């Protein structure tokens, strides 16, 4: 079996780790790039916080403490009866309930009315325009329609305002409530804190007294009704005793039961006697039927029968002794007659004893039947007595319950009267509020710290978002790694205010482009160079003019053809119309332009110019231009927007793609390169334009511009002295005609390109 063991893919994990490390590092670098913005936001937050802290007035907090006493008896509620055992309640819940009462709007309204805060200028509210308009509208309404009282509305407003500055806290492990009030004046803070405590105690006192009075009135009514119920219950007991003729005294209630128990004992004894007599009679009959003599225990006259048995035995022995005298001997005959006589008397006595046994059985049976009848009679009597007693007990229990309820109601009434007269509260003030000279707020260091940290955090978040949105190329290495196309050079961003060192850096970057293209001494170097971009405003006009200036400084006759059609053609001394040059006498126009260091031809606007120029006449014009100029630079339209780059690229020797540093999205560059490859256009390289040296020096890359920034003093020293073969005097500013269309549209910050002498 062909089986290949599976091996762990370590490279995938390594690449994934490198990807996340690069992503995190890029995120950190994005934050570092925006450090000035973050610092500016943090400073702005600090300044705003300082201004706000300076404008905020000092706040003073005074505290008063209340202790809740849970050991005092609770007020009897209406419709309830005070129980002997107190109900166990959660102490924390009780304390929290009291704290909520203090925080209630009712207590705040009482404070407003007690202190007359509606007349205090510090709390008075001047009605605004909207309030006056609303009052005017309400005044026009009918008198029958109810309207809100203005004084009540003002009291409610002030109560809501002071409630916002009130703080009521309680500890779940203690019975203490802290009432704190914050105001701009320490005396006012102490006065309002004490006012809340007093209003709470007064409200609790009034509610307790009112509740006690209501409970007392309710208990009085219940006591009267309960007394009537008790009288009715006692009358029912007495009436039942008379109707049932039931006497309740001591142990008399147990006599019928005792008599029944005695009768049941006697009945048991009679049953045993009957059973014993029947057993003796049965055994005696069985013995007599067998021809024997019953035992003495079974016979009633046992001594007499025993003597008769002895006489019979004696007579039989005498007959036995006289048998030798002969059968006719008188004494023998006399003895035989005596034996018969004795046996006759014995049988008679046995019959009499058996009759006695039968008589005993009948007597015992009769006695048992009589006792059974008596027991049944006593049972009926006992059951009747128990029913009467149970009913009497029920009546007595009802009367006892009513009596107990009457006692509880009386005790509750006395307690309610005591509470109403005592006029005390279960909460007492442990510490009154005093004016505090030290301000409790605002917490200015905290405000400043949070504001600064919040502004810095907002700046960091904004920097992260900007870093995530920044999908452009920032190094030549990134271009080569992701696109497979080499980066020819990185052109720094310069303006009219750039120093000579920055201009020197710019010139060196342009020279780098020329060197990579093979100018001026390479055997194979493009004579017709196409410069295009992905989208507009990528800096290709600046690149073309800088290359033209470089080549002109080296003595190369250069023709710049602006085929973008970005603006209308304005023929003049320095700029000619491309349409006129192609349509007219091409040789004459080119001969006229060949005498200039840099000749510029610009196409007009609109889609019809491409159909007019990209034909046979334009091809012949470009062939003549190759003969009269050393280098022809064609600035093509953006490759992702129009297809005019295709015929221009086929007439060119090489193509260069201008990409704006850190701005053009990478997917746009990749799509542009793919489109050019699909059109069989080979790109010689990519030029990163408008590199911000200030930002780039903080990147993690080591490329051309990072060295420019690292060795800036070298360029500053080099820009102070003329290079070998260059002019001694500073070159004049480049005419506006030498500036590309994108340069002229950028305004006053467009860089000034200075002609450079050939090296």
Q: Write the CB contacts of 684 (distance below 8 Å, at least 6 apart in sequence).
A: 488, 517, 526, 654, 655, 656
pLDDT of the residue at 17: 65
Residue 709 and residue 741 in contact, taking contact as beta carbons nearer than 8 Å = no
pLDDT of the residue at 174: 77
Give yes or no for residue 567 having a pLDDT over 80.
no
- 3-class secondary-structure state, position 676: helix
136: pLDDT confidence band, cut at 50, 70 and 90?
A: low
Burial label for 352, CB within 10 Å (0-12, 13-18, 19+), is middle
Higher pLDDT, 402 or 312: 402
Give yes or no for residue 334 having a pLDDT over 70.
yes
pLDDT of the residue at 215: 74
pLDDT of the residue at 468: 67
pLDDT tens-digit profile of 157-188? 888 889 999 999 987 777 889 999 999 899 99
Closest CA relative to residue 610, chosen from 676, 561, 677: 561
- Worst-scoring range by mean pLDDT, 67-81, 201-215, 375-389, 550-564? 67-81
pLDDT of the residue at 75: 45
Higher pLDDT, 254 or 213: 213
> Beta-strand (E) ranges in 35-93?
60-68
Higher pLDDT, 76 or 496: 496
Q: Write the CB contacts of 593 (distance below 8 Å, at least 6 apart in sequence).
A: 559, 576, 599, 601, 628
- 3-class secondary-structure state, position 591: helix
354: pLDDT confidence band, cut at 50, 70 and 90?
A: confident
Higher pLDDT, 44 or 717: 44
Burial label for 568, CB within 10 Å (0-12, 13-18, 19+), is exposed
pLDDT of the residue at 727: 35
Transcribe 152-210 into DSSP letters: HHHHHHHHHHHHHTEEEEE-TTSSEEEEEEEESSHHHHHHHHHHHHHHHHHHHHHHHHH
pLDDT of the residue at 126: 62
- 3-class secondary-structure state, position 122: coil
Closest CA relative to residue 648, chosen from 603, 606, 686, 685: 603
pLDDT of the residue at 195: 92
Which pairs from 312-319 meet CB under 8 Å and 24+ separation?
312/339, 312/342, 312/343, 312/346, 315/339, 315/342
pLDDT of the residue at 132: 64
Distance (Å, rounded) from C-alpha 607 to C-alpha 588? 27
In degrees, to the nearest 5, what angle opens at C-alpha 102 toward C-alphas 96 and 104? Answer: 100
pLDDT of the residue at 76: 43
Distance (Å, rounded) from C-alpha 59 to C-alpha 189? 9
pLDDT tens-digit profile of 610-661? 565 567 888 888 899 898 898 999 999 999 888 888 888 888 999 999 999 8
Distance (Å, rounded) from C-alpha 138 to C-alpha 134? 6
pLDDT of the residue at 274: 79
11: pLDDT confidence band, cut at 50, 70 and 90?
A: very low
pLDDT of the residue at 674: 92
HSE-CB for 313 with a 13 A CA cutoff: 6
Closest CA relative to residue 654, chosen from 608, 615, 617, 685: 685
User: pLDDT > 70: what percent of the chain?
Assistant: 73
User: pLDDT > 90: what percent of the chain?
Assistant: 11
523: pLDDT confidence band, cut at 50, 70 and 90?
A: low
Give yes or no for residue 219 having a pLDDT over 50.
yes
Q: How large is the average pLDDT for residues 5-34?
A: 60
pLDDT tens-digit profile of 287-323? 667 766 666 566 665 566 667 767 777 777 777 777 7
Give yes or no for residue 16 having a pLDDT over 80.
no
Distance (Å, rounded) from C-alpha 363 to C-alpha 357? 10
Mean pLDDT of the chain: 76
Q: Write the CB contacts of 302 (distance below 8 Å, at least 6 apart in sequence).
A: 296
What are the CA-CA distances from residue 298 to residues 277, 286, 306, 354 (Å)?
9, 11, 13, 9
Other beta carbons within 10 Å of 68: 20
pLDDT of the residue at 719: 62
Burial label for 432, CB within 10 Å (0-12, 13-18, 19+), is middle
pLDDT of the residue at 209: 72
pLDDT tens-digit profile of 666-682? 889 999 999 999 988 98
Give yes or no for residue 707 having a pLDDT over 50.
yes
pLDDT of the residue at 9: 47
Q: How large is the average pLDDT for residues 552-568?
A: 82
Higher pLDDT, 573 or 611: 611
- Worst-scoring range by mean pLDDT, 218-222, 508-512, 616-620? 218-222
Phi, psi of 632 (to 5 degrees): -120, 120
Give yes or no for residue 716 having a pLDDT over 60.
yes
Give yes or no for residue 196 having a pLDDT over 70.
yes
577: pLDDT confidence band, cut at 50, 70 and 90?
A: confident
pLDDT of the residue at 581: 85
Higher pLDDT, 520 or 518: 518
43: pLDDT confidence band, cut at 50, 70 and 90?
A: very high
Give yes or no for residue 604 having a pLDDT over 80.
no
pLDDT of the residue at 69: 75
Distance (Å, rounded) from C-alpha 70 to C-alpha 425? 11
Give yes or no for residue 572 having a pLDDT over 60.
no
739: pLDDT confidence band, cut at 50, 70 and 90?
A: very low
Range among 58-67, 250-259, 287-296, 393-402 with highest mean pLDDT value: 58-67
């Amino acid at each position: 079996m062909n089986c290949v063991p599976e091996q762990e893919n370590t490279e995938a994990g390594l690449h994934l780790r490198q990807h996340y490390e690069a992503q995190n590092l890029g995120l950190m670098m994005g934050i570092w790039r925006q450090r000035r913005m973050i610092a500016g936001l943090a400073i702005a937050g600090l300044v705003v916080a300082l201004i706000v802290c300076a404008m905020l007035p000092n706040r003073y907090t005074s505290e008063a403490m209340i202790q809740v006493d849970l050991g005092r008896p609770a007020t009897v509620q209406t419709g309830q009866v005070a129980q002997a055992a107190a109900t166990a309640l959660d102490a924390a819940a009780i304390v929290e309930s009291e704290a909520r009462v203090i925080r209630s709007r009712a207590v705040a309204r009482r404070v407003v009315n007690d202190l007359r805060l509606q007349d205090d200028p510090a709390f008075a509210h001047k009605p605004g325009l909207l309030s006056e308009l609303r009052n005017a509208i309400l005044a026009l309404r009918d008198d029958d329609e109810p309207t809100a009282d203005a004084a009540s509305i003002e009291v409610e407003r002030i109560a809501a305002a002071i409630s916002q500055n009130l703080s009521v806290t309680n500890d779940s492990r203690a019975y203490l409530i802290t009432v704190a009030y914050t105001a701009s004046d320490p005396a006012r803070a102490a006065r309002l804190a004490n006012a809340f405590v007093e209003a709470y105690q007064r409200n609790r006192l009034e509610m307790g007294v009112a509740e006690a009075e209501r409970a007392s009135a309710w208990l009085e009514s219940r006591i009267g009704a309960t007394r009537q119920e008790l009288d009715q219950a006692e009358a029912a007991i007495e009436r039942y005793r008379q109707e049932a003729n039931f006497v309740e005294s001591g142990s008399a209630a147990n006599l019928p039961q005792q008599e029944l128990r005695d009768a049941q004992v006697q009945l048991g004894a009679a049953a045993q006697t009957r059973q014993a007599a029947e057993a003796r009679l049965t055994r005696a009959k069985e013995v007599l039927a067998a021809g024997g003599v019953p035992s003495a225990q079974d016979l009633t006259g046992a001594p007499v029968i025993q003597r008769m048995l002895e006489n019979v035995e004696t007579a039989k022995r005498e007959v036995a002794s006289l048998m030798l005298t002969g059968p006719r001997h008188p004494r023998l005959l006399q003895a035989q007659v005596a034996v018969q006589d004795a046996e006759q008397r014995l049988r008679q006595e046995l019959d009499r004893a058996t009759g006695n046994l039968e008589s005993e059985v009948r007597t015992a049976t009769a006695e048992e039947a009589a006792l059974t009848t008596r027991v049944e009679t006593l049972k009926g009597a006992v059951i009747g007595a128990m029913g009467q007693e149970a009913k009497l007990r029920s009546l007595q229990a009802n009367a006892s319950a009513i009596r107990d309820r009457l006692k509880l109601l009386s005790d509750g009434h006395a307690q309610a009267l005591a509470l109403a007269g005592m006029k005390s509260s279960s909460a007492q003030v442990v510490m009154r509020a005093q004016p505090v000279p030290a301000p409790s707020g605002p917490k200015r260091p905290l405000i400043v710290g949070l504001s600064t940290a919040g502004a810095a955090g907002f700046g960091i978040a904004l920097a992260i978002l900007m870093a995530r949105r920044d999908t452009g190329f920032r190094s030549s290495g990134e271009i080569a790694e992701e696109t497979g196309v080499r980066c020819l050079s990185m052109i720094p961003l310069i303006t009219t205010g750039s120093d000579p060192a920055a201009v020197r850096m710019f010139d060196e970057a342009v020279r780098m482009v020329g060197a990579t293209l093979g100018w001026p001494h390479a055997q194979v170097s493009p004579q017709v160079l196409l410069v295009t971009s992905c989208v507009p405003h990528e800096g290709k006009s600046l690149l073309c003019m800088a290359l033209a200036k470089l080549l002109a400084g080296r003595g190369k006759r250069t023709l710049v053809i602006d085929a973008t059609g970005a603006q209308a053609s304005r023929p003049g001394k320095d700029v000619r119309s491309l349409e006129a040059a192609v349509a007219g006498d091409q040789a004459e126009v080119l001969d006229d332009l060949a005498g200039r260091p840099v000749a510029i031809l610009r196409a007009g606007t609109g889609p019809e110019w491409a159909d007019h120029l990209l034909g046979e006449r334009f091809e012949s014009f470009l062939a003549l231009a190759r003969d009269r100029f050393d280098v022809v630079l064609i600035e093509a339209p953006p490759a992702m927007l129009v297809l005019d780059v295709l015929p221009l690229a086929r007439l060119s020797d090489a193509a260069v793609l201008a990409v704006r540093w850190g701005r053009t999205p990478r997917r746009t560059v990749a799509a542009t390169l793919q489109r050019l490859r699909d059109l069989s256009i080979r790109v010689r390289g990519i030029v990163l334009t408008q590199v911000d040296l200030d930002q780039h020096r903080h990147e993690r890359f080591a490329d051309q511009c990072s060295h420019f920034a690292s060795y800036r003093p070298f360029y500053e020293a080099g820009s102070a002295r003329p290079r070998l073969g260059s002019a001694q005097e500073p070159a004049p500013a480049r005419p506006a005609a030498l500036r590309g269309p994108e340069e002229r549209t950028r305004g006053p910050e467009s860089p000034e390109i200075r002609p450079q002498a050939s090296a």
